[in-house]
Amino acid sequence: MSLIKTFAISSKLFSFYQKDIDVNSVESVEEIILLVVSELDDLLKKNNLEILSEELHKCRFHIHGFTFDDIKKECTSAKYYICDHDH
């Protein structure tokens, strides 16, 4: 059974980019972040935005306030933020 959650980037350069992910198809928060960042990087490269792609790779993204288990258990349609600022 699918468990679709929305993940959005919160960042100076990349805010508002978001992706829906079936959290039953991944195994960790790190894998969620990798999926979102990889898709954004593909989009940037496809549109010849190489400098933005390079900046994306400098970011250290994380989700704070929620563990992977929290995300899987949460019943609401809350949006989870992937940020690159200190916490």
**For 7-51, what is each residue's pLDDT tens digit?**
999 999 999 999 999 999 999 999 999 999 999 999 999 999 999
Give the whole-angstrom CA distance, residue 85 versus residue 10: 8
Query: Is 79 among the domain residues?
Result: yes
Query: Is 54 among the domain residues?
Result: no
Hey, is 34 helix, strand or coil? helix
Query: Is 16 among the domain residues?
Result: yes
Would you say residue 75 has pLDDT above 80? no
Domain membership of residue 73 as a residue range: 6-25+62-87
Query: Is 87 among the domain residues?
Result: yes
In the chain, the N- to C-terminal Cα span, in Å, equals 33
Query: Is 84 among the domain residues?
Result: yes
Mean pLDDT of 53-77: 90
Provide the pLDDT confidence category of residue 85 given band limits of 50, 70 and 90.
confident
User: For the chain, what is the domain count?
Assistant: 1
State the pLDDT at residue 1: 80
Query: Is 13 among the domain residues?
Result: yes
Residue 11 is given by DSSP the state S
Query: Is 34 among the domain residues?
Result: no
